[in-house]
Amino acid sequence: MKITKLALGLLTVALLFVVGEAATETSKKTVTEESLGLRHTDIYSETKETHGDKTEYGVNPAGTSKRFVRAYQDAPPMIPHDLEGLLPITIDNNACVGCHDPAVAPAMGATPIPKSHYIDFRPKHTYDGKTFTNVIDNMKNEIVEIVENPTLTGARFNCSQCHAPQTTGKLAVESTFEANYTREDGSTKSTWDEVILDNLNTLE
């Protein structure tokens, strides 16, 4: 059965009419700026609801602030005191160890840096300028020798990589997360030292 040009033209017009009607119905369902995002406010307004609370960092000196509990078991603890003059941490200057070095921390009333920060967990690959030797054990993955160094290992030297300063202020979006600590003192204590030094042995 042949379709004439007239029939094809009528079919095309009918389709265009249907699509046009559907587009008209869709256009009636407008999307407001208040419905976009998570804050549900006019993005052009300057109200507090749009901007949220101002982030305020602690200004109290070390030893005088209330510490936040850890966000979850073994989470890096937050820094409760003022950081004025302590940052940035450079290869030549890490002011944190002045109080948090295990040798002086008890006398300073500070939390001592854990033993895990003095252990280099990077596999000892070698390269002599020509040949790269990848230290891999197919049964145990990369081989790591657990040796406690006298100084902070390079990967742990920059404290602010993991430890963030405490702040006050409401989140723009409420968090309903609840920590499930694996031990009774998990909100203030880490298990890394126990795991690393007692249960982990990746070197034959």
Nearest in space to 162 (alpha carbons), one of 62, 75, 89: 75
Q: What is the pLDDT of residue 198?
A: 55
Q: What is the pLDDT of residue 42?
A: 67
Say if residue 30's pLDDT is above 50: yes
Nearest in space to 190 (alpha carbons), one of 98, 85, 111: 111
DSSP letter (8 states) at residue 2: P
In this prediction, residue 98 has a pLDDT band, given cuts at 50, 70 and 90, of very high
**Residue with more model confidence, 166 or 196:** 166
In this prediction, residue 24 has a pLDDT band, given cuts at 50, 70 and 90, of low
Nearest in space to 113 (alpha carbons), one of 131, 127, 129, 94: 94
Say if residue 150's pLDDT is above 50: yes
Tell me the mean pLDDT in the region 185-193: 84
Q: What is the pLDDT of residue 139?
A: 65
Say if residue 143's pLDDT is above 70: no
In angstroms, the CA 53 to CA 41 distance is 14
Model confidence over 37-51: pLDDT tens digits?
Answer: 666 666 676 676 666
32 alpha carbon, distance to own chain's centre:
32
Model confidence over 65-89: pLDDT tens digits?
Answer: 888 999 999 999 999 999 999 999 9
Residue 165 DSSP SS3: strand
**Residue with more model confidence, 114 or 201:** 114
Q: Which domains does the chain have, with CATH numbers?
A: 53-199 (1.10.1130.10)
- List, in order, residues 6 or more apart from 122 with CB less than 8 Å away: 144, 155
State the DSSP H helix or E strand holding residue 100, giving kind and residue range, or none if neither.
helix 97-100
